[in-house]
Structure 1
Amino acid sequence: MINSLFITFYPKKTTSNQNTKAVIYARLTYNSKRTDFTTSRKIDASKWNSHTNSVRGNSVEAKALKRYLDDMRASLYEIHDRLVREGKKISAKIIKDIYFGKEEKQYMLIEIFQEHNDEMEKLIGKGYTKGTLQRYNACKKHIEDYLAFRYKTRDMPVEEVDHQFITGFDHYLKSEKDCAHNTAQKYIVNFKKIIRIAYANQWIEKDPFFHWKGKWKSSEREYLTDAELQCMVEQEFDLPRLDMVRDAFVFCCYTGLAFADVEKLSEDDIITDINGKKWIKTKRQKTKSLSSIPILDVPQVILDKYKDHPRVKSGKEVIPILSNQKYNSYLKEIANACGIKKNLTTHLARHTFATTVTLSKGVPIESVSKMLGHRSLKTTQIYAKVLDEKVERDMEMLQKQLSLAQKKNK
């Protein structure tokens, strides 16, 4: 609407010197958002009428200044009217930029996001993984859906993204997309990277994330118990595809490797030390940090089982791995066959390794951290849940030590 644009002028002193004239500024306000700029004209503050936002008097100088400001106002309204007629995006800053001859390309949010994702796709295997790209593509799709839902548009200038947009997107993810709190936070962090790119390139004047701070909710990490893991190992399957996926999952439970790490694992990553013990030495796909994992009996049996498999003999894999989509789908069938109610994922396998296979058996958390390929012990503490049975054993050992000490003192 034309009436949405308001133009006012006001004097502003740039120094505390009483003899210095005030600079006249213009203020454009459009839909409650404003921008100010200097008119390059000065005036004695006493000659300015704040009620009419104009200069006092009828002197030649006063009339010339009035005419100059009236022409400026008319030009600004004319720019606004043209944008309305052409159906283009309007903001106070856009009108100001056009007035000063800066009618440059508008940087659009979805265009920037797509360009980022296209560049990331070119770097798959060179610093980024397919999984990371999938998350950013999913985030872009959520932003597109949010724009259509809330703003009834397919794209918008990135400079119009503000704190309200961010909080609204957070609410939309939880209410309309049914995302869990931490999942929504991850998408917003992905979105934050796009906005920071725009800010670094000076496509926006302010960072809308400056006052935003994400809060993560701690969640309980599921894992398989000894009984569930043993049931998984002993379960027999008539279908080769289920047998193969079960073996891959169990391999992850006893090595702590993620799906992407097992998928890229090769014979070069398996070494034998001077004592004849076999180790997996591989850099994690996600963090590029080194994992050093001694191969236990169960994963060794699985390696031996598939050593003559065509895909293994070709040198591509150490155990045959299906696509991630099929892998996750078949895990549901396997869980049903084993009577396990938990959602089987490779992350659950890593949790199982950290808890049931290692920590609960007395393996120090520092060793578990190195095997998981974590850079920080804090990360391991999230994965590695200290089980009640281990606490019980630790307290029993303490009680024995206290009892021995009491006997010695008698």
Structure 2
Amino acid sequence: MRATVRIVLRKDYTKQDGKQQLALRYVAHRKSTHIGLGISILPRHWDKNASMVRAGEPLSFRYNKYIKEIEQRAVKLVLDNHNNPLPIPKFRELLFEKTESHTDFYDFITQELEFLQTDRRKGTIDNYKKLINTMKLWKPTLLFSEITLDFIQSFHKHEIESGNKQSTVYKKHANFKFLIGVAMKKELITKNPYDNFEIKKKIKAENNDVLTEEEIETLYKVYESNVYTKGKQTVLRNFLFACYSGLSYAEYDIVTYADLKYYMVDGHKCLLLCNERYKNNIPYRIPIVSDKVKALLGSGKDFQKIFTVLTNQPTNRYLKDIMNEQGINKQVTFHRARHSFRTIAAQKGIQENIAERIMGHAEGNDIKDIYTHLQDEDIIREMLTKWVA
């Protein structure tokens, strides 16, 4: 069956200002995907029949120029592979492929980030850009041929000597490894130097990695008392929900009230927050079984976002202030909420595969779940019987 492409306005994701995302829908081998174009407009500014942004949108000319370019590339890929449609990953790769030659890694990756931002969060792209700017200060130019194991080790040494924490340095390595992978897909780098360099994912903290249930309860009482206003109260609400649910920071700007499902389990009215992680497209199922956690959700219309999200820097700054003010002597970042959830879940005896499913880890979403009949009700019941906060 021949593949098809079409520019569409996605109605399943609506921002607070009412704008919706434009995407390229690609259908092949009876599977479809939506590839974001990085463009959000009001529904009234979209001409569905002409596949164009109407003149009422101030950036309509620029948007339409980009849409036309993407659509022409997509149609060409479909026609070039008429008898054997491209699989979705290959189509996506070729759609954003550049043909220009490159010698400097920084120049190459800067151009690639323009395309990566169409289907990756702004915060993630900002982290990549920040990394490149940091590396430029240390090494202003970087040829592809210079990206070797010796270079990786020298970069590691430089970052440590600059006073960065090991956990921070290894996060930079993880980002750099991803960017090298982008270059490898274009065959600009033949061997990944990280094959011989271990990126340590967990750096043991000295009693400051996770919060206890008692500390989380203390923070909840502070939240209920409305001691804080505006930014701090918003951050505290988000952080507490992550402690009780394991929801990743990257998902907070995505989830809407439409992602909540209602269930009656053993006579209890429960909620299940269902979506896919932005990072890896792996589904998660988060049971909300206590009135305390339900209160953190609030209420709203289906299209409305559940949470208000601050950027990473002020979020962690507010968390540091809150911990100091409440006498919690731990170096807490927002991600520690997920660590806290996972640790407490283990202490309470939550089944490992269910905890992994809740958090959206690959381990808990294996095909084995199909054969063990792991259902939404099972996930809810596990939390209901072992952890009602």
Separation in 2, partners of 1:188, 1:369 = 25
TM-superposed deviation, 1:270:
0.6
Higher-Rg structure is 1
In structure 1, the residue matched to 2:166 is 181
1:338 equivalent in structure 2 = 326
Residues 246-265 of structure 1 show CA distances to partners (whole Å, capped at 9, x for unaligned) of 22211111111122222322
The one-letter code sitting in structure 1 at the alignment partner of 2:255 is L
- 1:166 paired residue among 142, 152, 170: 152
Equivalent of 1:138 in 111, 130, 150: 130
Letter of the 1:336 counterpart: N
- Give the direction of change, closer, same or farther, for the CA distance of 1:189–1:320 in structure 2 (3 Å limit): closer
Q: Find the counterpart in structure 2 of residue 220 from structure 1.
A: 204
Q: Distance in 1 between matches of 2:241 and 2:274?
A: 15
CA 1:369–1:141: 2 relative to 1, 3 Å? same
- In the TM superposition, what is the alpha-carbon distance from 1:322 to its structure 2 partner? 3.4
Equivalent in the alignment of 1:350: 338
Judged with a 3 Å threshold, the aligned counterparts in structure 2 of structure 1 residues 327 and 107 are, in CA distance, closer, same or farther, namely: same
Which position in structure 1 is the counterpart of 2:253? 263
1:266-281 equivalence runs, <5 A: 266-275=256-265, 276-281=269-274
Give the alignment partner of residue 352 of structure 2, picking from 348, 365, 375: 365
- CA positional deviation for 1:164: 3.1
What is the distance in 2 between the residues matched to 1:260 and 1:210?
Answer: 26
Corresponding residue of 2:310: 322
| Alignment partner, residue 129 of structure 1 | 121
C-alpha displacement at 1:377, in angstroms?
A: 5.6
- Secondary structure of the residue aligned to 1:371 is helix
User: TM-score by structure 2 length?
Assistant: 0.58
Contact 1:106-1:157 at 8 Å conserved across structures? no
CA gap 1:134/1:353 in 2 versus in 1, 3 angstroms: same
Q: TM-score, normalised by structure 1?
A: 0.55
Q: Deviations over 1:371-403 (max 9, x none)?
A: 11111269xxxxxxxxxxxxxxxxxxxxxxxxx
Greater displacement, 131-140 / 314-323: 314-323
Is the 1:331–1:345 contact (alpha carbons within 8 Å) kept by the matching residues of 2? yes
Contact 2:258/2:303, CA 8 A, preserved across alignment: no
Change (3 A) 1:326 1:190: closer
1:115: which partner in 2? 111
Q: Secondary structure at the match of 1:273?
A: strand
User: Which is richer in helix?
Assistant: 1
| Alpha-carbon distance in structure 2 between the residues aligned to 1:321 and 1:195 | 30
Q: Determine the C-alpha separation between the residues in 2 that align with 1:211 and 1:375.
A: 22
Q: 1:116 deviation in Å? A: 2.2
> Counterpart in 2 of 1:46?
none
Distance 1:370 1:156, change over 3 A: closer
Alpha-carbon distance, 1:300 to partner: 0.7
The 8 Å contact of residues 264 and 317 in structure 1, kept in 2 or not, is answered as yes
Q: 1:290 aligns with which of 271, 283, 286?
A: 283
Aligned-partner residue type, residue 188 of structure 1: H
Counterpart secondary structure, 1:278: strand
Partner Cα separation in structure 2 for residue 371 and residue 270 of structure 1: 14
Any residues of structure 2 matched to 1:37-52 within 5 Å, and which? none
Which structure has more relative contact order (CA 8 Å, sep 6+)? It is: 2
Write the deviation string for residues 90-111 of structure 1: whole angstroms up to 9, x where unpaired.
xxxxxxxxxxxxxx97612321
**Alpha-carbon displacement from aligned partner over 1:105-152 (angstroms, at most 9, x marks no partner):** 76123212212222222x2xx2x22232122112211221121xxxxx
Q: Deviations over 1:26-83 (max 9, x none)?
A: xxxxxxxxxxxxxxxxxxxxxxxxxxxxxxxxxxxxxxxxxxxxxxxxxxxxxxxxxx
- Post-superposition Cα deviations, 1:240-286, rounded to whole Å, max 9, x if no partner, equal 22333222211111111122222322111111125442211121222
How far off its partner does 1:216 sit?
2.0
224, 238, 253: which is aligned to 1:248? 238
Deviation at 1:325, TM superposition (A): 3.2
The SS at the match of 1:294 is strand
RMSD of the alignment, in Å?
3.0
Q: Which runs of 5+ in 2 are unaligned?
A: 1-99, 366-389
Q: Structure 1 residues 345, 164: closer, same or farther in 2, change over 3 A? A: closer
User: Distance in 2 between the 1:274 and 1:259 partners?
Assistant: 28
Taking a change above 3 Å as real, the CA distance of residues 288 and 207 of structure 1, as seen in their structure-2 partners, is: closer
Please list every run of 5 or more consecutive structure 1 residues that lacks an aligned counterpart in the other structure. Answer: 1-103, 148-153, 379-410
Give the 3 Å change call, closer, same or farther, for CA 193–302 of structure 1 in structure 2: closer
- Superposition map of 1:170-209 within 5 A: 170-176=156-162, 178-195=163-180, 197-198=182-183, 201=186, 203=188, 207=191, 209=193
Q: Tell me, in whole angstroms, the C-alpha distance in 2 between the residues paired with 1:370 and 1:245.
A: 25
Supply the distance in 2 between the matched residues of 1:326 and 1:250 (Cα, whole angstroms). 16
